[in-house]
Structure 1
Amino acid sequence: MKRRSFLKKSAYASGAIVAAPSLNAGPAPTTDKDFYELKVYHLNGGAGRNQLQKYYTEAVIPFLKKRGAKVLAFNEFSMEEPPVMYILHAHKSLSDYYDTTLAMRTDPEFLEAAKEYTQVPVNSPVYARFETFLMEAFDGFPRLSEPGQKGGLLEMRIYESYCEDAGIRKVKMFNDGEIQLFNNLGFHPLLFSQHLAGQYMPALTYMLWFNDMEERDALWAKFGPSPEWREMSRKEEYANTVSKIHKKFLVPVDFS
């Protein structure tokens, strides 16, 4: 059995593909969308940060770029210690994500470039631990929109829902009007995505780009009172869709 055929059948068995049309209610479902792998590294101080940056610069980014994937990396805005780095891999499809993950385990050129990272001594680890989120782009925003500048501020918002149905309805709210409202008001979205695996499920994550905190505050001040939002938020179908919100402010890392 060919690998892609096996992947497709495995996804149906797990429910990933069966659930996809309902998870992305709103616009007609599309398979032409990104799948995101978000890695959150809890680093071993400044030395760990430097080792991770070298690994990405010399091994991961060149490898993913050849396969059409994109990489964005961010530090926490607060710059608290121990440092945490957020790294996003944007793959063009689920099969691209799967094939790339397998290739990173076997490709001789990549393994040679990554040797210093993979063979790090036990007494000098790069990180204490890392988390991985696998996320599917919304049909209403199917591709990553990269920032137009190097500086700036990113706001990452994670919305938890109390049950799967509530999460589905919140995705529909975004697809049917909320994303358009962000665009109309002058926000700069990077991505909108639903969690397929990772923490907080059922949940979704979206990311917005700002020049600075002043622009962020000014835009959000227009969002809540807008007639479009007031109309959307009063609809019964969107009631009780979000049970908890996590907000993180991030700044870009030069190597991404």
Structure 2
Amino acid sequence: MKIPQALRNTRYFLNGNNFNVLCLFFFLLPWMTQAHPVPPKKEFYSLLVYHLKDKGQEARLDTYCQQALIPFLHKQGFGKIGVFKPVTNDTTLYILIPSTNLEKLLKWPENALKDAAYLQNGKDYVETAWDQPVYSRMETIVLEAFPEMPQLSAPELKGPDTARIYELRSYEGPTERLYQNKVEMFNKGNEVGIFKRLGFNAVFYASVLSGSKMPNLMYMTSFESRAEREAHWKAFGADAEWKKLIGDTYYAHNVSHQDIILCHATPYSEY
């Protein structure tokens, strides 16, 4: 936007009254906002991991998620909720909850027990007997989004839901210093940018603030199919920018262990 010459003459306005200055501010506000857009607010995530012993528990947990948990979270102002299951016969369920308010993210389980609709709709889960649990074990992982991707992104996938692959990766560092080096590799080193350029349809990248594996980062990418996933990783391994980055000794030895979990989204998942 080109600013008229008269408006560039700040002396004219500064020598005027406050009304003129106020008019100038509101005139320039759209231009200032366009030139310096406000960055998106950073998100935090709670990743709930339910370990289940059989299909009976899985069915009960599916019902709880659909009828009680997700409606309650939406009522509390949380965004889209992702629910995923491994492509193998492993009966584990992952629930991804985003929020820009960390305190709210940590407090929702306590607040849920004060909500009448949640208690009624989730009665089987909340009031289950000690010898008939809905799950065998539960984990809560708290994460903070990377600077290069401060908010979750719904993947742009068009194929059949049943064919889509969501890949959840966990990278542990041998020391805190080397772990931070790997985080830097994703952000300043532009590993995130390489994934984006190659079309990995990332859902999130984040540092683990609290979890059973520390120090640790996690991220999730998505693909139309298993074959497309294989093709993307093959292209990634051959990419010139990636080869240069992985060959930089500054980023050497910054991952001590990795877990790769391939998932399908549940029919009621919002990602």
Q: Deviations over 1:137-157 (max 9, x none)?
A: 111111111234434011111
How far 1:50 moved relative to its partner? 1.2
Aligned residues: 225
C-alpha contact (below 8 Å) 1:70/1:91 kept by paired residues: no
Q: 2:35 matched to which residue of 1?
A: none
Inter-partner Cα distance in structure 1 for 2:81 and 2:101: 15
Q: Counterparts in 2 of 1:122-141, with a 5 A limit?
A: 122-141=130-149
Q: RMSD between aligned alpha carbons?
A: 1.7
Please identify, of 103-112 and 242-251, the stretch whose mean Cα deviation from structure 2 is larger.
103-112
**Quick one: which amino acid aligns to residue 222 of structure 2?**
W
How far 1:213 moved relative to its partner? 1.1
C-alpha contact (below 8 Å) 2:40/2:151 kept by paired residues: no
Q: 1:232 matched to which residue of 2?
A: 245
How far 1:99 moved relative to its partner? 4.0
**1:209 alignment partner, SS class:** strand
Residues 99/39 of structure 1: CA separation in 2 closer, same or farther (3 Å cut)? closer
How far 1:212 moved relative to its partner? 0.9
How far 1:106 moved relative to its partner? 1.9
Q: Which of 142, 149, 159 is the aligned partner of 2:171?
A: 159
Identity fraction in percent: 33
Inter-partner Cα distance in structure 2 for 1:99 and 1:117: 18
Please identify, of 205-214 and 100-109, the stretch whose mean Cα deviation from structure 2 is larger.
100-109
How far 1:101 moved relative to its partner? 3.5
Between structures 1 and 2, the one with greater strand share: 1
Question: TM-score normalized by structure 1?
Answer: 0.83
Q: Does 1:71 align with 2:81?
A: yes
How far 1:44 moved relative to its partner? 3.4
Larger Cα-atom Rg? 2
Q: Which of 242, 245, 250 is the aligned partner of 2:255?
A: 242
Stretches of structure 2 lacking an aligned partner (at least 5 in a row)? 1-38
C-alpha contact (below 8 Å) 1:44/1:126 kept by paired residues: no
Question: TM-score normalized by structure 2?
Answer: 0.78
Higher relative contact order (CA 8 A, sep 6+): 1
Q: Counterparts in 2 of 1:7-86, with a 5 A limit?
A: 32-66=41-75, 67-80=77-90, 83-86=91-94
C-alpha contact (below 8 Å) 1:33/1:93 kept by paired residues: no
Please identify, of 83-92 and 137-146, the stretch whose mean Cα deviation from structure 2 is larger.
83-92
Inter-partner Cα distance in structure 2 for 1:117 and 1:143: 30
Q: Deviations over 1:179-203 (max 9, x none)?
A: 1101111211111011111122001
Inter-partner Cα distance in structure 2 for 1:71 and 1:204: 20
Inter-partner Cα distance in structure 1 for 2:250 and 2:110: 41
Stretches of structure 1 lacking an aligned partner (at least 5 in a row)? 1-29
Inter-partner Cα distance in structure 1 for 2:82 and 2:247: 36
